[in-house]
Amino acid sequence: MARVAFIVTTCHEFEGIKVLSGILKKHGHVADCFLHSEEKDFYRAVLDWKPDVVGIYATTGQEAWAYDYIRGWKKSLKHLKVVMGGPHPSHDLEPLTHPDVVDATTKGEAEYAILDLVNAWEADRTIEDIPNVGWLGPDGVGVQNPIRPVVQDLDTLPFPDVDVFYKYPFLRSKRVMQVHVSRGCQNSCTYCSVGLMKKDWVSGRRGEKFNRQKSVDYVCEEMNDILARYPDFKMVNFGDAALNMTRGWIQEFAEKWPKRVGLPFACNININYLNEDDIIALKRAGCVSVQFGLESGSEKVRLEIYKKGYTDDIVYSIPKLLRKHKITYRTNNIMGSPAETLEDMFETARVNKRIKPNGCTVLIYRPFKSTVLGQQDFALGRVDLERDIGPSIQNDSMMKRTDLREVVNLQKLFNVAVYVPGGEQLVRQLVRMPRNPAFDFTLLGFLWYQHAVVSGYGMLDDFKLGLKNVGQIFGKSGSQTKRSFLETLDTGSDAAVH
Ligand code: B12
Ligand code: SF4
């Protein structure tokens, strides 16, 4: 029996960690999760728990935040091993080049990799033959082992272990609980990691699927298992890329969910796979709010460069249907990709104005090495490698552009252009000014209102969440340094991808 401590910097309940903890516990290990924001003394809390293994989840830019803590723990706990998983080490073995900190990484979905790894460390066996695991070779270069097939039937997994997050009063007393019912996505947008995950996170065996959805029965049982212990949640947010991943799933869900669970919910949807019947079923099931990625007002950019699959026809027709059936909707939008001029970005604001969303999430384009577009950007030298923008995609840009200031300012003031009468003209003047905290707070104000009030996440919860992360305002990467407040704000949504 090993003791595995997951550590997390963003105040959020992470589905991946819930699942890994569930698997480890099912196989006789002890697991817990420590949230930086929720512990009075994070360093001591983890140390006093005496872990044998520390697990870190990392998106790109977020890999190094705990390195100094780990160095300290390793001084006291001589046997401590550290594994990093998630999107970043799945595509980049750089963390292994800090052998005083990271002992192994995992690539892709890690349910059985972490189990094998913990078992091997416990028995003092080699980890060099474990599928999905990355380790440091004798020449100081990271070695990535081949991966195993992803779990094809998500119903075979134990229920995600919510207890490791809901032990924290703040997370269990929120209005909205986070739930995931699928993995993958029908689309393969070029700015998103999901496209390459589909190719890279599967073993390539014949018939292996990357897009998978839990059965409706499993989801209802999972929910009731959680609600039996934590009955106070008022609403559910499905964090999946899209709830409408499998044809017919929403219709079955609309039959069973209201009777067996009955909580209202918000979710992300792919509007190119949505029709009026689905919208009616969503409404019947209890959906109050959906979010989808518009990303660009230009159909050409959306279809030809982002490969999003959303034609103008879809972009203009689906919102009308959502309004007709009284489901609120928010859009996600990207500013500053190499595909767009500033004028294109103003066009994105105008299209939003036309389709009248209840809120606009606006992210700054970030070139991840785990995306098709990002790989091109690095290859073509479009990225300013000297610029440390921290882990967030809501704060700053690392692209080489002459209009960088305007782009970043427009991201902050986008909602003014969409929602304030005559706003576009005003914003056209303001974007030329130096960056200004007032612009940041304008963005925060709109986001908070749209997310907390319009979509029903709760004003107080969202506000408290902001306060919890206030120390992270406008941070850079690296260990224990501050990160962006904005990064953590939209925790109830899938803002990161769409
Ligand atoms: C829901 C979601 C969020 C949620 C929840 C965060 C989370 N990561 O769970 C919120 C809204 C908070 C969020 C925020 C952000 N996100 Co996000 N998010 C997602 C999304 C849509 C689903 C993640 C998920 O839960 N999947 C289901 C679970 C079961 O899978 P999983 O998390 O990958 O976990 C598996 C493996 O990764 C691994 N694993 C996970 N944790 C660990 C830990 C250890 C120790 C080990 C060994 C393995 C391991 O095993 C798990 C089980 O198989 C993904 C896209 C995607 N489809 O993956 C983007 C994604 C992960 N997000 C991304 C980004 C950029 C962000 C932000 C930086 C955006 C921002 N606001 O600036 C922040 C970062 C905050 C943070 N600390 O993660 C990028 C990461 C790209 C990259 N290369 O780093 C992704 C891939 C989307 C994209 N743009 O391409 N996100
Ligand atoms: S951006 Fe959204 S729709 Fe596109 S591939 Fe990623 S998760 Fe799917």
pLDDT confidence of residue 490: 39
pLDDT confidence of residue 486: 42
pLDDT confidence of residue 479: 42
CA of 371 to the centre of ligand 2 (A): 11
Determine contact, residues 154/216, Cβ cutoff 8 Å.
no
pLDDT confidence of residue 306: 97
Going from the C-alpha of 45 to that of each of 48, 166, 167, 401, 483, the distances in angstroms are 5, 16, 14, 44, 22
Determine contact, residues 157/20, Cβ cutoff 8 Å.
no
Q: Which atom of ligand 1 is nearest to the CA of 241?
A: 21
CA of 175 to the centre of ligand 2 (A): 27
Q: Which ligand is nearest to the CA of 58?
A: 1
pLDDT average per 10 residues of sequence, the chain (498 residues): 95 95 98 95 97 95 92 97 96 95 97 98 97 95 95 96 96 93 96 92 88 97 96 95 95 98 96 97 97 97 97 98 96 96 97 96 93 96 90 85 96 96 96 92 84 67 63 46 40 40
pLDDT digits (tens, 9 = 90+) for 329-377: 999 999 999 999 999 999 999 999 999 999 999 999 999 999 999 999 9
CA of 476 to the centre of ligand 1 (A): 19
* 274 phi and psi angles, rounded to 5 deg: -120, 135
Quote the pTM value: 0.92
CA distance 417 to 16: 37
pLDDT confidence of residue 465: 67
pLDDT confidence of residue 17: 98
CA angle (200, 203, 206) in 5-degree steps? 120
Q: Which atom of ligand 2 is nearest to the CA of 497?
A: 1
pLDDT confidence of residue 466: 65
Q: Please indicate whether residue 392, judged by its CB atom, sits closer than 6 Å to ligand 1.
A: yes
CA of 363 to the centre of ligand 2 (A): 14
Going from the C-alpha of 488 to that of each of 58, 137, 210, 394, 451, the distances in angstroms are 14, 36, 28, 9, 13
pLDDT confidence of residue 456: 65
Ordered by where they begin, the domains of the chain are 3-144 (3.40.50.280), 174-488 (3.80.30.20)
CA of 460 to the centre of ligand 2 (A): 30
Ligand 1 binding pocket mutation candidate from 34, 156, 497, 498 (most atoms within 8 A of CB): 497
pLDDT confidence of residue 483: 39
> What count of other Cβ atoms lies within 10 Å of the Cβ of residue 348?
27
Determine contact, residues 100/74, Cβ cutoff 8 Å.
yes
